[in-house]
Chains A and B, each alone.
Chain A
């Protein structure tokens, strides 16, 4: 897990507010992945980004969720108008460009919607 920084570690939002989750990948990694883990469930893929590009967003809910990975700065997962069902742990991972290399995960952001 060395190097992938997620913040905040814990985030509490009221229903209807926006949540912004940040992920700084390992230095030099150009691929970022976001996963969601609901309580007592497995990790579900959400989105895969390369610098300034969304490669695969097949796991993203159609509404309220968006992700970006700008040329400069961290990757951002944004959830608008949060609902209680959005309460979960959100994990970010990064990997270098090369095929066949491992991905490193951050410690996650635990979002609680009250």
Chain B
């Protein structure tokens, strides 16, 4: 399984962009990068995922380097409600069946006013 490395914690000022890095140097060509977050022990919430190209949705942007060995999740205008643990996951695939998610320790993002 490809492993991910994230900083244990980060602070961000409210209203500013939060840039959360993730290293996944052993990622395989057909493995996706997923981001989830967990707010205060609630169920994890899907944010975004990508394979090669940069992706954007209503929540965030995902920037994947050309060699795919690292990525950055960008929350463009962080709010206090974005305070959470953010997980970067490389999704393990099973032929014909689908995938499972393996969570690491994640990054605790604290958005401060």
Contact = CB atoms under 8 A, between A and B. Distances in A.
Interface stretch (A11-19, A43-51, A65-73, A76-84): A43-51
Given A99-B93, A102-B34, A43 B44 contact: yes
The bracket for how many chain A residues form the interface is 20 to 34
Given A42-B106, A48-B100, A93-B101, A55 B94 contact: yes
Interface of B is mostly: loop
Contacts of A103: 46, 99, 101
Interface of A is mostly: strand
Interface string B36-67: 00100111111001010000000000000000
A103 B47 CA distance: 10
Given A55-B98, A56-B100, A102-B46, 14 more contacts: A1-B45, A31-B97, A33-B100, A42-B105, A43-B44, A45-B102, A55-B94, A91-B43, A100-B99, A102-B34, A105-B44, A107-B42, A108-B41, A108-B42
Interface of B: 32, 34, 38, 41-46, 49, 51, 87, 91, 93-94, 97-106
| 10 tightest A-B CB contacts, nearest first | A105-B43, A102-B46, A43-B103, A105-B44, A48-B100, A107-B43, A1-B43, A31-B98, A106-B43, A55-B97
